[in-house]
Structure 1
Amino acid sequence: MVRRVGVLLGLLVLVGLVAAPGPAAAFGTIDAGGQSREHERLTRAALSCAAGSGASGPDCFQPGTVDYLAGHGHEFGAVGAPDSDELSDPAAHCDDADYVAGAYPRTRDQATAALVDCLNHLRMRFGEAVDRARGLLGPDGEVLPTEVGLHPECRSREQREDRAKCATLEAFGRALHGVQDFYAHSNWADEADPARPVGDENPPGLGLPAPSPLLDLRGSAAPDPPAALSTGCWAPRDEVPGVGPCELRVTHAGLNKDRGQIDPTTGAATAPTTARGMVGDNFARAVSGAVTETRRQWQDLRSELVVRYGTDRGERMICALTRDDPVNDCAGRNLAAAVAVGAGLAVVAIGAFLWSRRRPVRR
């Protein structure tokens, strides 16, 4: 009887998580409740080594590694981690930076302050990724097998994963979640409904390209957003018009472009299901912006690893983060470095020998 009650309670909790609105009502993480694993699919389109994905060469993520970064099956993955334990943190999803010019309950400065909270949160996650990458390599720059293995699979929960590769990808995935949500939750790339007056229920669209200069996670400067930039206010009752703390404000429900179908290979976005997403090509713009931003953040992380740890170690870290078998695949980089050093020493030795032979012999 006790076991049956426990199973029943577990099912009720699961149903509640799927049905309940919240900041997790962002680009989707699961295949239920109207979600279609949008975070996973756009992350794969941006960074997977799969043919036709748009990513190629040694800096894309091989299949086993991208499974953890993007998520798969019932696994949230690193990019979905904020939907498991940061549901109530607006900064993790870039919510609550709402503003419309004119008579509005909040000022531009208040909206910008919420945007700063989001940016600081994502910079913190990005910095964690850079810090945790240190553990990928040993003191001589060798890839550490115990730190890069993916079996058993990484666990995307804070404070539970000790392997350096898992911890680095989790921190990076959490940063990606927020920057992707920025495009779904804001009016940065979209347009307003031309059939309705502009206001809190139909904020103006900015129609701006990605990547956004506001999302510089390597820097420390305060953002300077456009005057009309807005993200949605979120409350447990996420409705249009807003209720409770979101009354008379732009709401997440009214502005988000979270739901639709995304091709995980090409990034093509179709069949949007949210009101704002169905205006023009807003859903496709949000997805395209998120894909472009995801690639920019990966480029920035690679650059930061090289700056922090030097070219040789940084490139070896990048290899370890992207390859499924880094102990073997990245060993060549160790060997190349050793060969280069050895060749340099050999040149010096030969030069010294030849110079000594040219010296006249004193009698």
Structure 2
Amino acid sequence: MRQYFGKKLPLSFFIATMTLIVVPSQSEVANAFGTVNQLGQNSEHARITRHALTCQPASSAGTCLEENTLESLAGTRGTFGAVGAPDRGRGMLTSFAHCSAGDHFEVQGYPQTAAEAQAKLTECRDYMVSNLDHAVIDAADLLDQNGDFRSRETSMFGGCVYKGSQHGRAKCNVLAHMGRILHASQDFYSHSNWVDLPNFEAPNSTDNPPGLGQRGPSPWLDLRMARPQFPRGLISGCFDNQSYLGEDKGCLYGDGTVHRVRHLNVNKDTGTIDPYIGAATTERGAINDNFKHAVQAAILDTADKWRTLNDRLIATYGDTNGRKMICALTHDSPKKSC
């Protein structure tokens, strides 16, 4: 769920409500599954991540994160965390970080072909694959040459800073890459038409584009697969700041009066997730339980993305070292707990 569910936040909001925190610039806004608790957002990214990765009595080893590590990945109130980091700075301006810009509609003169829309969404998937590759590479620094935990590189003491390309310790770097993957994959379900259905009481149009009505994670987003088949009819919304703000002047074409399929027309970014998945607060999310299905798919896919990292670590570094790396990434104090 892309650093999205939500609208652009004014700088005044951060000045007024966030103390002892570095105030982001006006470009550091949230346009996807929400990352803050104001202006219609309810930290949807963080909540989805916690649903997927919080340790439960039945959790198996390596599939859940201890408290401090999970807080760093998901973020706490007033912070973005690794999963919210793409909603600040330059990340907000890159469509591939949020699986946006894959819009298409079968009408004469539409400014983007189906192939071009597919290419935009494929760029988002490639971004996830690249971050997974970098997470696996950075994990090598969790252990020394003897396969022992490197105390500084695995510690959560002092926290992580998810800004820029380097975040401090090896564990922070791995979590940063995973945050980008999870943000993009969560946004995929919010920003695309994979899970949703249109309003059947109105004709299909750029205001009411077709939906695929799928349930659960998309096989196309399984990062274990090298060249998965692209889902026929899959689209997301036009990437334009005005469209995110819900203004009709965004994403216009032709004589300047016709609009493309906008983020406004497909997003399922905001709504109630805790203590249960409840009401949606976007138009597309509120019909046909679209928000609920987007959240459910995002939770399942978030858990699978973490399992994918585990699989890659074992395949790359062997069973013994791979499992030690997994333990270092899931435990707050691996030298004591693993």
TM-score (norm 1): 0.81
| Residue identity in the other structure for 1:67 | E
1:68 maps to 2:72: yes
Contact 2:11-2:26 within 8 A present in 1 as well: no
After superposition, residues 47-126 of structure 1 pair within 5 angstroms as 47-50=53-56, 55-85=59-89, 86-103=91-108, 104-126=110-132
Residue 59 of structure 1: how far off its partner (Å): 2.6
Distance 1:228 1:37 in 2: 30
Distance 1:105 1:143 in 2: 53
Residue 151 of structure 1: how far off its partner (Å): 1.3
Residue 119 of structure 1: how far off its partner (Å): 1.2
Residue 143 of structure 1: how far off its partner (Å): 0.8
1:169 is aligned to 175
Q: Say which one has the larger Rg.
A: 1
Structure 1 residues 214 and 14: CA distance shift in structure 2, 3 A: farther
Contact 1:45-1:263 within 8 A present in 2 as well: no
Q: 1:258 aligns with which of 253, 258, 269?
A: 269
1:31 is aligned to 37
1:305 is aligned to 313
Post-superposition CA distance 1:60-88 (Å, at most 9, x none): 10111100011102111111110113000
Structure 1 residues 14 and 95: CA distance shift in structure 2, 3 A: farther
Distance 2:310 2:249 in 1: 41
Post-superposition CA distance 1:212-235 (Å, at most 9, x none): 1211324442x5323321100121
Q: 1:137 aligns with which of 129, 134, 143?
A: 143
Contact 2:142-2:328 within 8 A present in 1 as well: yes
Q: 1:269 aligns with which of 269, 272, 277?
A: 277
Q: Runs of 5+ in structure 2 lacking a partner? A: 1-9, 17-22
Residue 296 of structure 1: how far off its partner (Å): 1.1
1:204 is aligned to 210
Residue 160 of structure 1: how far off its partner (Å): 3.9
Post-superposition CA distance 1:289-329 (Å, at most 9, x none): 10011111111110000001000000000000001110111
Structure 1 residues 178 and 272: CA distance shift in structure 2, 3 A: same
What percentage of aligned pairs have identical amino acids?
39
1:232 maps to 2:237: yes
Residue 242 of structure 1: how far off its partner (Å): 5.8
Contact 1:23-1:90 within 8 A present in 2 as well: no
Aligned residue-pair number: 315
Structure 1 residues 159 and 21: CA distance shift in structure 2, 3 A: closer
Greater Cα shift, 20-29 or 155-164: 20-29
Structure 1 residues 158 and 202: CA distance shift in structure 2, 3 A: same
Residue 11 of structure 1: how far off its partner (Å): 3.7
| Residue identity in the other structure for 1:69 | L
1:217 is aligned to 223
Distance 2:229 2:15 in 1: 40
Contact 2:24-2:88 within 8 A present in 1 as well: no
Contact 2:166-2:173 within 8 A present in 1 as well: no
Contact 1:186-1:230 within 8 A present in 2 as well: yes
2:4 is aligned to none
Structure 1 residues 10 and 228: CA distance shift in structure 2, 3 A: closer
Residue 159 of structure 1: how far off its partner (Å): 3.0
Residue 100 of structure 1: how far off its partner (Å): 2.1
2:303 is aligned to 295
Residue 13 of structure 1: how far off its partner (Å): 7.1
Distance 1:280 1:19 in 2: 37
Contact 1:36-1:261 within 8 A present in 2 as well: yes
Structure 1 residues 195 and 241: CA distance shift in structure 2, 3 A: farther
After superposition, residues 13-32 of structure 1 pair within 5 angstroms as 14=15, 24-32=30-38
Q: Runs of 5+ in structure 1 lacking a partner? A: 1-8, 331-363
Distance 1:18 1:148 in 2: 28
| Residue identity in the other structure for 2:141 | G
Tell me the SS of whatever aligns to 1:146: helix
Distance 2:168 2:25 in 1: 33
Residue 56 of structure 1: how far off its partner (Å): 4.7
Distance 2:26 2:336 in 1: 45
Contact 1:21-1:237 within 8 A present in 2 as well: no
Structure 1 residues 272 and 28: CA distance shift in structure 2, 3 A: same
| Residue identity in the other structure for 1:231 | S
Tell me the SS of whatever aligns to 2:129: helix
Tell me the SS of whatever aligns to 2:130: helix
